[in-house]
Structure 1
């Protein structure tokens, strides 16, 4: 490989690193100050970089916020896809894996939960955020419904409607995240247990798939 090609690769790697550094600083700032009160100066100071670099990579605050939302969306999608790839190919096991991905430490961190709720609170005022959130979640929602349908058929459960159950699980998950964020739920493990216990009560013949896995002591969020 020529020295020019090596230099271009290094520049691309450096550019990607700086973008991620700025996005992660934005996540921290939003968690502390909210979307509207976060400034480019705040982000630059926290990242230890110049505001000019933010302008170079993102041009505007709106672009930086949009890329931050896409970043946490992509991270979340990668987490549940990886969980499914590692799971046993059975509806109950796959449903459990999909649900458990919501409670992974790097997904359910206090800062990221605060950022999620910050963006969700702005979807009415900023349709772009609503579009990103909706489009990114459509595939997961369809998969959730499909897994529930398969489980209903396999377990011969009667009088169950998959879409309604999926909507209930989604609402419960959002509520559990909020409870942990504001402190009414102690931690991720407690929230995960509430969710899995509920699903286990719905699908009693597959309750074992929704048992809580033993873990070490949980670090504070």
Structure 2
């Protein structure tokens, strides 16, 4: 009889093994065998907890998405932080040590490629994109006029995704990720400053 509380532990171990397998073998060559070998479990355990490889891959991507959300929530140290601070926290949550790790970057890159052809993965990507845009828009709306806020949210989301991708594919990802985070924050500050300047000149 399985021990109480064993299921969450086993599920996480299999997700961690999937991240490792994708990092080592790529998504295409990741199989039930490679995952179970890394996890040190029988292949039947995967079927028991997830149903199969496809469901486990989706659970792994969902785990990455959850880590993005949790890292943002953990950075909010006070209720209702200032909008500009909240925007910086959103940036930071996308460039955490975990999101910059080889395990995460290789899985994200594999996921994005597969999302172009897989409806289930495309749905998860859509959730990810909409969540980022929505969070950015919420904060920008407290600082800018509606149209300017929407434009700023779209531009910032594109910068975060674009700089993250360029950093992940660079020869020196660690330094590039650090620079990317700073550039995104600087962009946010500059947009807010420029819009406030424009608004003051219209009075």
When structure 1 is superposed on structure 2, of 55-64 and 82-91 the one drifting more is 82-91
Q: Does residue 28 in structure 1 map to residue 20 in structure 2?
A: yes
Provide the rounded CA distance (Å) in 2 between the counterparts of 1:87 and 1:109. Answer: 30
Structure 1 residues 173, 87: CA separation in 2 closer, same or farther (over 3 Å shift)?
Answer: farther
Unaligned segments of structure 1, at least 5 residues:
1-6, 154-158, 207-221
Q: Is the 8 A contact 1:23 1:67 kept in 2?
A: yes
Q: Is the 8 A contact 1:44 1:54 kept in 2?
A: yes
Match of 2:10 in 1: 18
1:99 is displaced (CA, Å) by 1.5
Q: Please give the residue correspondences for 1:41-56 in structure 2 after superposition, counting only pairs within 5 Å.
A: 41-56=33-48
Structure 1 residues 88, 189: CA separation in 2 closer, same or farther (over 3 Å shift)?
Answer: farther
Provide the rounded CA distance (Å) in 1 between the counterparts of 2:85 and 2:4. Answer: 40
1:160 is displaced (CA, Å) by 6.3
Match of 2:190 in 1: 201
Match of 2:198 in 1: none
TM-score (norm 2): 0.84
Per-residue CA shift, 1:121-154, capped at 9, x if unaligned?
111211111112223443442221121121225x
Match of 2:163 in 1: 176
Provide the rounded CA distance (Å) in 2 between the counterparts of 1:103 and 1:70. Answer: 17
Unaligned segments of structure 2, at least 5 residues:
196-203
Q: Is the 8 A contact 2:100 2:168 kept in 1?
A: no
Per-residue CA shift, 1:161-191, capped at 9, x if unaligned?
2222211111111121122212255343222
SS at match of 1:37: coil
Provide the rounded CA distance (Å) in 1 between the counterparts of 2:77 and 2:122. Answer: 28
Q: Is the 8 A contact 2:95 2:177 kept in 1?
A: yes
TM-score (norm 1): 0.78
Structure 1 residues 115, 177: CA separation in 2 closer, same or farther (over 3 Å shift)?
Answer: same
Q: Does residue 78 in structure 1 map to residue 78 in structure 2?
A: no
Match of 2:152 in 1: 165
Per-residue CA shift, 1:58-77, capped at 9, x if unaligned?
22111111111111111111
Provide the rounded CA distance (Å) in 2 between the counterparts of 1:49 and 1:195. Answer: 42
Match of 1:39 in 2: 31
RMSD (CA atoms): 2.4
1:89 is displaced (CA, Å) by 2.1
Structure 1 residues 135, 183: CA separation in 2 closer, same or farther (over 3 Å shift)?
Answer: closer
